[in-house]
Each structure stands twice: as structure tokens, then as C-alpha cells.
Amino acid sequence: MGLYNYHLESLPHPLNNKCCFVCNNQMTPYNQNPELDGFQYKCSNCNPNVVIELSGSLLASSLYSKLCDNNNVLKIIKKQIEDTTNERFQLSTSFVSKYIH
């Protein structure tokens, strides 16, 4: 069972306040895959049809805070979420490290 899917208080800011880390608007936890070692949610502002998945390793690393502090990368990710035709958008440490060095 994924730690973050059941313990919202364990999430880093702004997720622990039920806000999307990309746009800071209200998000809805979406526990589609309870075994996933990460956190899943939907954001009606970014794309209401997509489940955004953040890996546990990303949430636990310093890369997450660097990502949240980088508006240029957040804009790129928001655009990718808006444009995706997939049901899920996965963010992992390897995905984010392509943008943040």
C-alpha cells in the first residue's frame, strides 16, 4: 500500500493542503491504484480527465521542492498535463531530473 495515498498529512506542501503542486488550485485525491508507492490526484484546472501521479521517491527527495520552486518547469509540466490524451500523467525522479539539474 502506498504511504502517501492514505496519509495526506505526510505529503509535502502544497499537496498536504489539497492543492495541486503545478497550479496551486484545489485538487482531489484520486486513489485509483492503492498499491502505488506515491500519490495520485486530479486537478480540474490542469486537466480534469487526467490522474496526476507523483512517485514516492520524488515526494521524498529534495527534487520535489526544487520543482515546486521552478516556475518555468511547472509551466512546461502544466502544458504537458493539459495536452496529454492519456488517462494518467506520471512524475518520477527520473522524469523531473530531465528538467532540473
pLDDT band at 32 (very low <50, low <70, confident <90, very high): low
Domain range for 65: 3-97
Q: Considering the entire predicted model, what is its pTM?
A: 0.90
Is 95 a residue whose pLDDT tops 70?
A: yes
Average pLDDT over residues 20-27: 97
Mean pLDDT over each residue of the chain, to the nearest integer? 90
Residue type, 20: C
Is 4 a residue whose pLDDT tops 70?
A: no
Q: Please give the pLDDT value at position 19.
A: 96
pLDDT band at 34 (very low <50, low <70, confident <90, very high): low
Cα-atom radius of gyration of the chain, to the nearest Å?
Answer: 12
Q: Please give the pLDDT value at position 16.
A: 93
Q: Please give the pLDDT value at position 1.
A: 38
Specify whether the CB–CB gap between 23 and 60 falls below 8 A. Answer: no
Q: What whole-number distance in Å separates Cα of residue 85 and Cα of residue 35?
A: 24
Output the 3-class SS for the chain: CCHHHHCHHHCCCCHHHCECCCCCCECEECCCCCCCCEEEEEECCCEEEEEEEEEHHHHHCHHHHHHHCCHHHHHHHHHHHHHCCCCEEEECHHHHHCCCC
Domain count, the chain: 1
